[in-house]
Structure formats: C-alpha cells, structure tokens
Homo-oligomer: A and B are copies of this chain.
Amino acid sequence: MLEIKNHMILIDCGEGTQVQLRKIKVKFSRINHIFISHLHGDHFFGLPGLISTFRLLGRDKEMHIYGPKGIKEAITLLLKLGDSWTNYKLIFHVLESKKSELIYEDEKVAVETIPLDHRVYTNGFLFKEKLGERKLNIAAVEKYKIDRSSYQNIKNGRDVTLENGQVVSNDLLSFDPPKPKTYAYCSDTAYRPEIIPQIKEADVLYHESTFLDSEAHLSSKTKHATAKEAAAIAKEANVGQLILGHYSTRYKSIDLFKEEAQTIFDRVELADDGKTFDF
C-alpha cells in the first residue's frame, strides 16, 4: 500500500493480500486504484478475491485497475465462471507499451510506468506528488489585516493590493509548499540501468532484490536482481532512500540483503510483511 496525498494505492496483489490489508487495518473503501506490475501469481493471484470482497462490502465507487494486457480477460473469465459480476464499475487500464507512459494524473499526483526487464512484460511505477499550494503565513496576513476572501489567491501565489493601494508581495504572506515527493516501485526486474534517468533523485526507491550476489547466476537466469545491483541503481540515481524486498526464501536472514547493499549505498531499509515506512 502506498499512501500519497490522501490516496490509498495498492501496488501488486499476491494471494492473501486482502488478509494482510485487514491486518494493517486499511479501509478497503479508500482504495480506488490498483497497479499491477506483471501477471505472475505472487503479484496478481490475490486480485480476483479482492475484487469479489469489494462487492461483498457493498462497494459502489469505480475501481481502476492498471496492468498488463490479459488482466481484463483473466478477471472477466473468473467472474464469469462464478456468475459473480461486480455491482461497481471495474475499469481496466491495459498496459502494453515498452516505453514509459503517464497512466494516471489528477491535481495532486501523477503516475508513470517504469518499463522493467523480467521474464514477462513488467512495469514498475513512478508516483510523483505535484507541487502543492503555498502555505499561508498567518502572522503576516493578520498584520496586514488581509480579508479571508484573499487567502486562496495567496495560496495560489498571488500578491495582494491593500485598500490603501499598497501591493504586498506574496513571499511576505506565504511560505513555500512542501517539496513534492516521488516514489519509485521497481519489481520484478533484472538489473536495468536504463531506468536510472527516470528515477533520478526519487525520494524513495523500492527495488526488488530476490538474490544476493553469491547467487548472481540464478538472478540473471530468472531475471531478478541482487541486493548489490539494487544498491548500484540507487547510488547512480542518487535516491533518498532504498527499500529492498522480494527476497528468495533460501536465505536465513534478510539482514544479509541490507549488509550487501550497504557496501554500495548507505540509506537502505528492508521491506517486510506488515512493515510501514514514513517519509
């Protein structure tokens, strides 16, 4: 789950996702957008059940699903077999391009695909906050006795002309908005330096690291990345923070992934079931 500018966005949906969402107390009704990177079971087999659960919960709002070609066909067939149509509108945004595309945009957030390199057609997603309104300097607007009717104009960056004709510059009346943040989600993928320009300076990069460098041969064979490779991407892109995840179960401790990544890039966190990060 990504919470960004009041949106609750689900990214990928493996079997059992709805159970995990309940555990971390996500309100199902707040989810309106689901992004699916690729159609392997561990990223996708929880979607039919989640769609059915939304129906059982009496959902009537539209649900938008973004994912590879075939996703609509698969979900539609499963619903048809069970004769269980949704009572809400299910809108599929089918992705086929091998180039990055802007696939969602509103006044607060934009989402682009990040083409990845895996065994099947796969996209990562880049979530970009837009620059927000300026923040009102309450002390200043009170000092100049500015009427409330002008507040929105000030937030929008305008100067204010007082009744005596004096023009007060906007930077005296407001503060800069918080710097917009970006979050890049990259899973599953082999090491793919082509993504670096697109994710440059991202505040947070989630990058898969299925293997350690000792299993680099398996990694390239299965088109996954090692912790070292994920860290190299993070370093070149100069991201604020790297989050690793998607570990092979062959390793005894996930701390090994952090250790290996930190030989290259320092700001590493480990994703884990139910864990929350706040940026």
Contacts and interface: CB of A to CB of B under 8 A. Distances in A.
Most chain B CB within 10 A, of A14, A73, A77, is at A77
Nearest to A47: B45
A18 B46 CA distance: 13
Given A81-B70, A120-B83, A49 B45 contact: yes
A82 B39 contact: yes
Given A16-B15, A19-B16, A41 B49 contact: yes
Oligomer copy total:
2
A6 B49 CA distance: 32
Interface residues of A, number: 28
Contacts of A39: 78, 81-82
B83 A119 contact: yes
Interface string A72-85: 01100110011110
Contacts of A84: 40-41
B44 A82 contact: yes
A247 to B, nearest CB: 14
Interface of A: 14-16, 18-19, 38-41, 44-46, 48-49, 52, 68, 70-71, 73-74, 77-78, 81-84, 119-120
